[in-house]
Amino acid sequence: MPDFLDAIDKKILMLLQRDSSRPMTEIAEEIGLSQAPCWRRVQRIKDAGYIKAQVSLLDRRKIGLKTHVFAQVKLTTVGRSNLSDFTDAIKEFPEVMDCFVLMGSVDFMLRIITEDIEAYERFFFERLSRVPGVQEINSMVALSEIKSTTELPLLW
């Protein structure tokens, strides 16, 4: 962690990543500062790029997105030479929540959310499998969710 952040900044980050909607007065009180210096610290942290965005996290099940799939994607040799074509296509699919480039026997790991298994099947056959350069897709459906968090482990 860069010297830019001191212990108070780190506490602010921990509190904000748990609930960024808390009033600044609450955050300031919890870390032992008055509101104005706390607000200035938050602004400095934001300006430095430590906070990428402040969003509302939705309950995917309550809005009808019940199926969670992990898909390993292997590209053809030709596909590997045009990784940008694959990545550009994936960025256009709202069902794909995360996409990681991997080292090993597969090229990408996707985390995909859909309404149900039938919706995933349609997405698989009509869109994902038709991306140029895709050789193989291995899909794994999550049965249950044991832990899911957006909080980074700030262990200083």
Segments making up each domain of the chain, as ranges:
7-47, 67-141
Which residues of the chain fall short of a pLDDT of 50? 1
Query: Rounded to an integer, what distance in angstroms lies between the CA atom of residue 103 and that of residue 86?
Result: 16
pLDDT value of position 1: 44
Are 7-47 and 67-141 in the same CATH fold?
no
By percentage, how much of the chain surpasses pLDDT 90? Answer: 90
DSSP 21: T
Segments of the chain assigned E as strands = 67-75, 96-101, 108-114, 134-141
d(CA 12, CA 30): 9
CATH value of 67-141 in 2.40.50.140, 1.10.287.3610, 3.40.50.10680, 3.30.70.920: 3.30.70.920
State how beta strands 108-114 and 67-75 pair.
antiparallel
**What b-and-e string marks burial along 4-30, b requiring 16 or more CB atoms within 10 Å of the CB?**
ebeeebebbbebbeeeeeeeeeebbee
User: Residues 6 or more apart from 56 whose CB is under 8 A from it?
Assistant: 21
pLDDT the model gives residue 62: 97
The CATH class of the 7-47 domain is mainly alpha
